[in-house]
Structure 1
Amino acid sequence: MTKLSVNINKIATLRNARGGNMPDLLKTAADIESFGGQGITIHPRPDERHIRYQDARNLKNLVTTEYNIEGNPVEKFIALVLEVLPTQVTLVPDAVDAITSNAGWDTIKNKGFLKEVIQTFKDAGIRTSIFVDAEASMIEGAAETGTDRIELYTESYAEEFAKGNHSQAVQPFTEAAKIAHQCGLGVNAGHDLSLDNIKYFKENVPHLLEVSIGHALICESLYLGLENVVNMYLNKLK
């Protein structure tokens, strides 16, 4: 079975919008695990607009499944990861002002830098993954950095799938996963995966170890859970 790691950034966004501690990020993470989630993912950014660096520290003592920290390996991020020592670190080439991840690494141009950072994390016993597009050259370049895994950036899959081009949407990812496996890399995936498109992706992408899903999962939880909560309020008000 492919593992599900739930990205809880959106829970932190909601908390920060109002101040205080509602919703409770730590309780949400614990609940996700109790519901069967097999990992917790966070993506702290330098401005801490959703996940705060202290959240990363607090979650370390709570997460009992796999703990994945994503981010651009700037000095502050590297220091945080080495302090927290998560199960996995996923390197993402985010610009400081990026709203969300929007590109994979150029693993050829940045090979020297990535190789150095990855070795630092591996020396600390942390599994490493590089966020990449579904391109053979980028995957082969990733293998040369010494990383343990890649995470396939799946926005293009989600967009094409939504247009009804299912086989066309998944084909590059099927090939990318095969190339990664041949290179000795584990395969993760994430970005815009949802209840609508995840089953087809899983069925057609071999060697898929883990998916990281946040935005869609939280939105779907609102849609699918609203009826229950509204009726709970109505029952209280009878």
Structure 2
Amino acid sequence: MTTKLSVNLNKVALVRNTRHLGIPSVTRAATLCLQAGAHGITVHPRPDERHIRTDDVRDLALLMQAWPDREFNIEGNPLHNLMDVVHGLVEKKLPVHQVTFVPDSEGQFTSDHGWNFPFDAQRLRPLIDQAHAWGLRVSLFMDADPTAMAAARAVGADRVELYTEPYAAAWGTPQQDAQLARFAQAAQAALDAGLGVNAGHDLNRDNLAAFIQAVPGVAEVSIGHALIADALELGYCATVQAYLRCIDQGRS
């Protein structure tokens, strides 16, 4: 299988929002990444709109109409603003392919933990059902806990996105191999439960290939911070192609 690369554009919007000039353009960034071979675009609109705004989500969905072979993934907490944002696209019949449910608080600096089962099951189930009624694939942001994967499947999820910051933090340390083994076990448990496997958070050009090589069945990686930081030096095209090479290296 091919692991797909979805580029998270939140940091482009964050820079733009420091001024009122409309630059850098989120849609231009998306276009350049897609032209370079990215398989999809990810955004995470938070309630305070400190980076991606509702208008950006709409503009990107309009742009994605010209890329029918690529995917638009929208992340966020379904208990906050995510469902309203997604519903606005669905009503207009604009493309959105996957929603990734993330249990972050409204003012949280960045996503830093996954859903907790069985505690979160009851409130997630109707939200997953609603997303399915809209024809969308649902991925749950999850810690690398093999014992939780069957519960994620039982509540109706199609995929899990493994929260990879612990692996990234261990990269280059004596804990690296143990973390890789932990994520491999979680991914295999997800596959055994009938789930697809996504991954994201602090993956970069240094640690991505080893992750793809060691962790079975990774269908998609969503990468934002490191990729956009690299693009400041290398440009979008060269950066996307470098990440695609990392994926190919991990798969070879």
TM-score using structure 2 length: 0.87
Q: Does 1:88 align with 2:94?
A: no
Partner amino acid, structure 2, of 1:16: N
Deviates more, 1:171-180 or 1:57-66: 57-66
Q: What pairs with 1:167-178 in structure 2 (closer than 5 Å)?
A: 167-178=177-188
**Equivalent in 147, 150, 174 of residue 157 of structure 2:** 147
User: What is the CA-CA distance between 1:108 and the residue it aligns to?
Assistant: 1.3
User: What is the CA-CA distance between 1:75 and the residue it aligns to?
Assistant: 5.0
What CA distance in whole angstroms lies between the structure 2 residues aligned with 1:139 and 1:58?
Answer: 34
Q: Does 1:71 align with 2:66?
A: no
- Structure with more contact order per residue of length (Cα contacts < 8 Å, sep ≥ 6): 2
Partner amino acid, structure 1, of 2:32: D
What CA distance in whole angstroms lies between the structure 1 residues aligned with 2:173 and 2:146?
Answer: 25
What CA distance in whole angstroms lies between the structure 2 residues aligned with 1:107 and 1:10?
Answer: 31
Q: What is the SS of the residue equivalent to 1:61? A: helix
Residue of structure 2 in register with 1:31 after alignment: 32
Q: What pairs with 1:189-228 in structure 2 (closer than 5 Å)?
A: 189-225=199-235
What CA distance in whole angstroms lies between the structure 1 residues aligned with 2:118 and 2:162?
Answer: 16
**Equivalent in 102, 109, 130 of residue 140 of structure 2:** 130
Residue of structure 2 in register with 1:61 after alignment: 62
Residue of structure 2 in register with 1:166 after alignment: 176
What CA distance in whole angstroms lies between the structure 2 residues aligned with 1:171 and 1:138?
Answer: 16
User: What is the CA-CA distance between 1:138 and the residue it aligns to?
Assistant: 2.1
RMSD of aligned Cα (Å): 1.5
What CA distance in whole angstroms lies between the structure 2 residues aligned with 1:44 and 1:19?
Answer: 19
Partner amino acid, structure 1, of 2:83: I
User: What is the CA-CA distance between 1:76 and the residue it aligns to?
Assistant: 3.1
The answer to whether the Cα contact below 8 Å between 1:154 and 1:189 also exists between their aligned partners in 2 is: yes
- Mark the runs of 5 or more structure 1 residues left unpaired by the alignment: 229-238
Residue of structure 1 in register with 2:243 after alignment: none
Q: What is the SS of the residue equivalent to 1:19? A: coil
Q: What is the SS of the residue equivalent to 2:16? A: helix
Partner amino acid, structure 2, of 1:120: Q
Deviations 1:162-185, CA, capped at 9 Å, x for gaps: 325432221111001110000000
TM-score using structure 1 length: 0.92
Partner amino acid, structure 1, of 2:86: V
Deviant stretches of 4+, over 4 Å? none
- Mark the runs of 5 or more structure 2 residues left unpaired by the alignment: 91-95, 239-252
Residue of structure 2 in register with 1:101 after alignment: 111
Deviations 1:46-76, CA, capped at 9 Å, x for gaps: 0000000111111111122100000001253
Q: What is the SS of the residue equivalent to 1:100? A: coil
The answer to whether the Cα contact below 8 Å between 1:194 and 1:213 also exists between their aligned partners in 2 is: yes
What CA distance in whole angstroms lies between the structure 2 residues aligned with 1:162 and 1:132?
Answer: 23
The answer to whether the Cα contact below 8 Å between 1:89 and 1:129 also exists between their aligned partners in 2 is: yes
**Structure label with greater radius of gyration:** 1
What CA distance in whole angstroms lies between the structure 2 residues aligned with 1:2 and 1:215?
Answer: 19
